[in-house]
Structure 1
C-alpha cells in the first residue's frame, strides 16, 4: 500500500509519458493530479495514436521499474528487423538483424494511457479535465511541490526555449504518414522473403531519393494484434506529394499500396492482404516533426520552476523509435530520483535531473536518429554501417541494438572511429568485412498467397 509522503505533484498532459510518471510518483507517496484537455474516453477513442511507439529493452525495463504492465504477454512481439536499401534506383543492400537480449513491442498509446489512467484513479490519483495555459500553469505550480509538463498544448512549450547548441534542425526532415491495419498474421509465412523470422521481424525499406517505409507488429486498442505502418517522405519527393493526399484510413492504405506497387514491389503481396480497422476512424495520421532539444526547465510568470517531460523536452523524428522510449526512460529516472529526494524540487534539482537524462540518453538518441535520417553529416557512416550489416549478422544485430542503447554511437566522429565501431561490433577487421560486400542486385520477391488459402 502506498504511504503518503505529504508531497504533491502536478502533471500536465495525459499521454503515455505523463500518465506513467503519474503512477510512479503516486507509488512513491506523492499526492498526484493529472491535467488533460481531453477526458478519458476522448483520449482512448477520439484521437489518433501518437505514432507506433516501439519499445525496446531499456524502455521496457523503465516501465517495469515503475511496476507498469509492458503488454509482453498479450502483444505481438518483434525479434529483429529486416532492412532493404534502394540507391539510385538499384536494389543495393539487404540485411536482417536479430535483437540481442530483448524483444520489440509496439502498443497503441491510447490503450496504454487508458489502462494507466484507470489504474491511477483506482489508486487515488486525481484526473482533472481542464485545458492548461501558461497562466493556469502558474496557479497549479504555485500549489504543487513538483510540476511536470508533458504536453506543448496551450502555449506551454514556449516556457521551454529551444537549445540551439543541442538542436540540429530548424524544420522537419520528413513528412510522415502512419496508420494501423489488420488482415495479416505474424507467422513465418509473412515477409518470409525478407527473413526466416517472417512476421516476427519489423520491415524497414529505404528508397534513397524518396524516403523510408516501416511495417511492424502492433497491438491495437480495439482490433488487438495488427500491423503498423510508418512512412517518411523526403521534402519535394513523389512520396511527399502522395502523403499529402491522405484524408482517411482508406486513402492512407491506398496510398501505401500504390507506393509499394511502384517502388517496393517485393513486399506488395503482404500489403494487398491488409485492410483498415473499421471500428477506429482515427487509425491514421499525417504530419511532421522537427527534431529538437529544449531547455528541460522553465519558469511560470510567478517564478515557479516546472520540468519538461517527454516530447516537450526532446522531440525526435520517429524514424529510429527514440521518442516513446526516451519519454519512458526520462519519466522513470525522474520518478526514482524524486522518490529518493528530501529537499525542494527547485530549479537546480530539476536542471540536474534533466541534464542526467540528456547525458545518459537523449544526446546519443538524437545522433542515432540523425544517422537513420541519412543526415548529410552522418550519411557516410550510415553507408559503411549498412554495407557491414549486409556481410555480418553479428554487426547487423549490434547496429539494431543502437535503437535500444544509442550511446555507443557517440564514439563515432570520423570515418576512422566509424570503422572502429564496426570492428568492435563485428568482432573482425572492418576492411575484411567491407571487402565482402556485394550489392544485392535484386531483392527476393514475396511469394505470399494467403488469399488463395
Structure 2
C-alpha cells in the first residue's frame, strides 16, 4: 500500500483518488474550498461528458445521476452566407451512447462526500510551494490536479507541443431554464458562424434542476468578444442578443428562458497550453502535474472534463502497474502514456480553432446527405482518435468520395 496526495478536488483528482482508494491505497485530497463553498460558488465549466469517460467514472463507483438529463446526439449547423435565417449545412445524428453534463457545483461536493465515506481524507487549505514541500516529505507521490499562482508557475510550458501563445477565443457560459427542447432528440447543438465564432448548447443538471448550458466562443476582437464587465443579467441579455443576430433558429428556442442563478454565468479566455508534466520544488523533490494543469485545451470540442477523466483513468493504470519509487522518470512515463491518447484531442481541437479547410468543409457537407459520415463525425466527440479522416484530405478523401457516391441524391 502506498500513500498519495492529490492537490485539487476536481474531475481528475477526485476520480483518481476514488480509484486509488478502491485498490486499498491511502489517499489525501487537498482542496482550496469545502463542499459548501463549491456548491455556493460560480459555475466553472460546461462539462459535457461522453460515454467512455462516463464509464471510467462508473469503474470507481460514480453512479449518482442516472435520472439526470441525457445528451443523445450532436447537431451541426452553419448559417447560409447569403440568405439570412437559412442554413448552408444542417444535420444531426445520435451518439452510440448518450452523454451527460452535471454542474460541477452539484457534482464535486457529492464526490467529495463519497470520497470521504470510502476512507479518503480531504484537507481544506490553499496549497502553495511550502505546502507541496511538506506533502512531498509525507507522501509517496504528490499529484497536482489544480493550481494557481506559485503552483501554476512550477509547470513550464512545453514549447515543442504548444501551438498557441495567446487565447484563440473569448469564452462565455450561460446556464438557463426554460429553453424549448429540440424536436428530434436531445443533443449538443453546434453552430459555426464563419468569421464570428461558435455557439453550442446542450441539456444539463444544475442546482435548481434540469437546465441548458449555452457556450459561446467568439473570435478575439469580434462581435462575440463582448463579455467584460457585465453583470449576470447583462451577460444573459447579451447572449440572447447574439442569438437573435446570428442564429435565429436558436433564438426561437430561447423566448422563455431565464438564468438559473446569478452564479450561472462565466466569461474568460486563456491560451491553449501544454506544460511539462514534472515540476521540481526548491528542495529538488519532483511533483506530477495532471489534466488541465499540464494539458489545457480550448473548450471548442467539449473535451475538458473528458480529458480529465481519461487522464485519471490513465494515471491510475500507470500507478497500479508500477513497481519501484514514484520518481521523475515514472512521472514522465505516466504522462506520456496519457499523451499517447491526448495528442489526438489536441490536434482535433486546434484544427477547429482555425478556419475549416476545404476537406473539413466537404466532410461537414457530405454529412448532410450521408448518415454514415454524420455518425462517424459525432462519434469523434467520444473517441477523438478517429479524427484523422476528418482533418487530413489524404486520409479521408476516398472515404468521403465513396460516401458522396452512395448517398448522392437521385434525379
- State the TM-score, normalizing by the size of structure 1: 0.85
- 8 Å CA contact 2:314–2:337 kept in 1: the answer is no
* Pair 1:64-2:58 in alignment: yes
- Separation (CA, whole Å) in 1 of partners of 2:297 and 2:409: 34
Which of the residues 74, 77, 80 maps onto 1:81? 74
- 8 Å CA contact 1:368–1:402 kept in 2: the answer is no
Q: For 1:43-86, what per-residue CA distance to the aligned partner results, in whole angstroms no more than 9, with x for missing partners?
A: 2212x222110110111121122222262x12111111111112
**In the alignment, which residue of structure 1 is the partner of 2:336?**
355
**In the alignment, which residue of structure 1 is the partner of 2:193?**
207
Deviation larger for 399-408 or 296-305: 296-305
- Separation (CA, whole Å) in 1 of partners of 2:172 and 2:371: 30
Task: Point out where structure 1 has 5 or more consecutive residues left out of the alignment.
Answer: 438-453
- TM-aligned CA deviation for residue 212 of structure 1: 0.9
- 8 Å CA contact 2:155–2:275 kept in 1: the answer is yes
What SS does structure 2 have at the residue aligned with 1:429?
A: helix
- TM-aligned CA deviation for residue 157 of structure 1: 2.1
Aligned pairs for 1:393-412 within 5 A: 393-410=371-388
Aligned pairs for 1:40-439 within 5 A: 40-46=35-41, 48-69=42-63, 71=65, 73-86=66-79, 88-90=81-83, 91-100=87-96, 102-184=97-179, 190-192=181-183, 196-197=184-185, 200-220=186-206, 222-241=207-226, 243-244=227-228, 246-248=230-232, 250-277=233-260, 280-360=261-341, 362-373=342-353, 375-376=354-355, 379-410=357-388, 414-420=392-398, 422-423=399-400, 429-430=402-403, 432=405
**In the alignment, which residue of structure 2 is the partner of 1:444?**
none
- Separation (CA, whole Å) in 2 of partners of 1:333 and 1:69: 20
- TM-aligned CA deviation for residue 418 of structure 1: 3.0
What SS does structure 1 have at the residue aligned with 2:201?
A: strand
Distance change in 2, residues 1:435/1:169 (3 Å): farther
What SS does structure 1 have at the residue aligned with 2:309?
A: helix
What SS does structure 1 have at the residue aligned with 2:349?
A: helix
- Separation (CA, whole Å) in 1 of partners of 2:388 and 2:141: 32
What SS does structure 2 have at the residue aligned with 1:60?
A: helix
Distance change in 2, residues 1:89/1:235 (3 Å): farther
- 8 Å CA contact 2:75–2:188 kept in 1: the answer is yes
* Matched positions, count: 407
- Separation (CA, whole Å) in 1 of partners of 2:72 and 2:179: 17
- State the TM-score, normalizing by the size of structure 2: 0.93
- Separation (CA, whole Å) in 1 of partners of 2:172 and 2:352: 17
What SS does structure 1 have at the residue aligned with 2:361?
A: helix
Task: Point out where structure 2 has 5 or more consecutive residues left out of the alignment.
Answer: none
